[in-house]
Every structure is written in structure tokens, then in C-alpha cells.
Amino acid sequence: MFRHSLQYIQGTYVNELSRFYPDNFEEADISFGDVLNLKMRENFIRVFQRFKVGSMPVLRQIYFDNAGNNTVATSERILNKINYYAGDYGIDQYGLSLVSTDYGDYFIDDINRAFVRASLDGITNVSDTFQMRGFFNEELRTGYTGRAVFIVTGK
């Protein structure tokens, strides 16, 4: 459960950071495991759970039509329902493998033995894309040492 307070208005004496109302919350699907990491991206919070990754709109709401197309609209609610990405990828058991760049978030899924990118185009298994499956299988089989994270540091 994600709970939030009201706001602090800069330049005034209005500070409602300690006010929590019963409706000021949003829930993640517990069947996807614990929430292990969060990353703010413009008006969305990327939620990294053990078995799935989702995106939670902030002051936005996503509507889907019958054809599956989506529309983003402004919302009065601060946090709105999490939309999970297609694909069964989640972050490592401690949530420590997350590396963020300007456009994407890279992480290791030790269950699927994959190096994954979450970006505007959704979830991509980078280890399959660049034929690095053997490297990551060996790295994750022998114990993650952190060397794989340095692959994404260059532009």
C-alpha cells in the first residue's frame, strides 16, 4: 500500500505533510511480490516488484478503450492505479540491481536469468536482444557480482 499526505505549499505557512486521509492511498498487487524499488519518471512512478514491473500515474489517469488503446488524462487523485507492463520480469530479490539512465531503467531478473530494460516502449529483455544470454546465465548461476551493471553506463 502506498499512502500519501497532502502538500506543502511553498512561500506560505500551509504545511499539510502530516495530514493523511483514508482515501489517500493506492495498492500494488501482492501476488507480484514485494515492492523492492521505486523510480520517479516525470508524472509516473515506476514500481519494481519481485515478479513484475508497473507504472503508477501521478496526478494522471490512464483510460483504455475497447481496442486496447490508451489515453492519459489529468486526475484529481495524486496516486492512481498501477498499470503493469507486459512480460513476467521482476527485479532481483533485494532490488539493488537497478541502474537508471535518461530514458530507461535497467535491472537484473535473477528468476528468469535476464538483464531487462524498462523504458517508454515497455519491457525489453536486453540479454536476449544482444545475444548475451550465455554471459548472464553464467553470471547469475555463479553469483551476481555486479559486473553486469557496468554495461549500461556508457551512452
Q: Which residue has the higher pLDDT, 123 or 155?
A: 123
Q: What is the pLDDT of residue 78?
A: 74
Q: What is the DSSP string of the chain?
A: -EE----B-TTSS-B-TT---TT-EE---GGG--EEEEEEETTEEEEEESS-EEEEEEEEEEEE-TTS-EEEEEEEEEE---EEPSS-----TTS---EE-SSEEEEEETTTTEEEEEETTEEEEHHHHTT-HHHHHHHHHH---SGGGGGGS--
> pLDDT-derived band of residue 51, with 50, 70 and 90 as boundaries?
very high
Q: What is the rounded CA–CA span in Å between residue 18 and residue 136?
A: 45
In this model, does residue 151 exceed pLDDT 50?
Answer: no
User: Could you tell me the pTM of the whole model?
Assistant: 0.73
pLDDT in tens, 100-146: 888 889 999 988 888 899 998 889 888 776 556 666 556 556 555 55
Say what the pLDDT of residue 129 is: 61
Mean pLDDT, to the nearest integer, of 7-25?
78
In the chain, what percentage of residues exceed pLDDT 70? 77
* Torsion angle of the four alpha carbons 87, 88, 93, 94, in this order, in degrees rounded to the nearest 10: 20
